[in-house]
Amino acid sequence: MQFQFENSFDVKEKINKSKIAILPIGAVEAHGAHLPLGTDNILAERLSEKLAERVNGFVLPTLPYGQVWSLRNFPGSINISNNSLIRFIVDIGESLYKQGFTTFAMVNGHLGNATAMKEAARELFETCPGMKVLYLFYPGMNKAAAEVRETKSSHGTYFHACEIETSYMLYLAPEYVDMDRAITDIPDIPMSADVTPTPWEDFTSTAVLGDAKLATEEKGKYIIDIALENMVKLITE
């Protein structure tokens, strides 16, 4: 159910029957030449729609800007602060709580949002007792990705416009992928990037972290289906 297309006369009864709100959170940032700037928004939206179908939840309008400090200097990237993102999420969560929602699931499409989402969830834990708040980022994907990837990950945590994320897009939103422009770029990311502020232009000029040419719809479906199953369990159990 798309929350924004409901009307005020009918929505209260529907909330009473569902009580699950799903918020896609993405970002606008560089994703190479083969993926759009809004890749993280698109993935979060499409995944949220699939999740809502399985748990009978409402999909809220997407929060389309994220903390993209690392990529803020690439053409097209739009960065907001963690503090701004936290305040948005908390305000939305508290509004949902007042409307009668008992589950607030954030579906994240951008790793850089993770810190703000966790902090917002902690604040909502205090202000909205009884509302279950989840911050979800492809749960279980690491094991699943390791089973299908053909190239070694360029980083233990990061995946970006690469074999994995491009596969997600080929499965969830193939109309936005231009595989003719996919490249192989596996940068050497220094250990210091994990412990110091490091703009990504220090180690990549493309914002691609891997071999995007190896992406397939099948790989994307395999990982996404596992993540989706885990999301459903986390919400319903």
The contacts of residue 221 (CB under 8 Å, 6+ apart) are 171
Assess contact for 35 and 169: CB atoms under 8 A: yes
Instruction: Provide the 10 A C-beta neighbour count for residue 135.
Output: 21
Report domain extents, the chain: 3-236
Whole-number average pLDDT of the chain: 96
Given a cut of 90, is residue 55 above it in pLDDT?
yes
Q: What is the CATH number of domain 3-236?
A: 3.40.50.10310
Predicted confidence at residue 231, as pLDDT, reads 98
One-letter identity of residue 64: P
Strand locations in the chain, DSSP E?
A: 20-25, 58-59, 103-108, 132-136, 184-185, 210-211
Q: Specify the long-range contacts of residues 81-84, CB closer than 8 Å, at least 24 apart.
A: 82/115, 82/116, 82/119, 83/116
pLDDT of residue 187: 92
The whole-model pTM stands at: 0.95
Helix locations, 128-162, DSSP H: 141-148
Tell me the mean pLDDT in the region 33-46: 98
Which band of pLDDT confidence, cut at 50, 70 and 90, is reported for residue 153?
Answer: confident
For residue 189, give every residue at least 6 positions away whose Cβ sits within 8 Å of its Cβ, in sequence order, or none: 154, 155, 158, 203, 209
Token couple for 160: 């970006």
* Banded pLDDT at 152 (limits 50, 70, 90): confident
pLDDT of residue 209: 95
Whether 214 contacts 151, CB under 8 Å: yes
Is 33's pLDDT higher than 90?
yes
Region of poorest pLDDT, from 33-42, 118-127, 143-152 = 143-152
pLDDT at 156 > cutoff 80: no
Q: Are 151 and 163 in contact (CB under 8 A)?
A: yes
pLDDT of residue 154: 76
Is the model's pLDDT at 160 over the cut of 80? yes
pLDDT at 184: 95
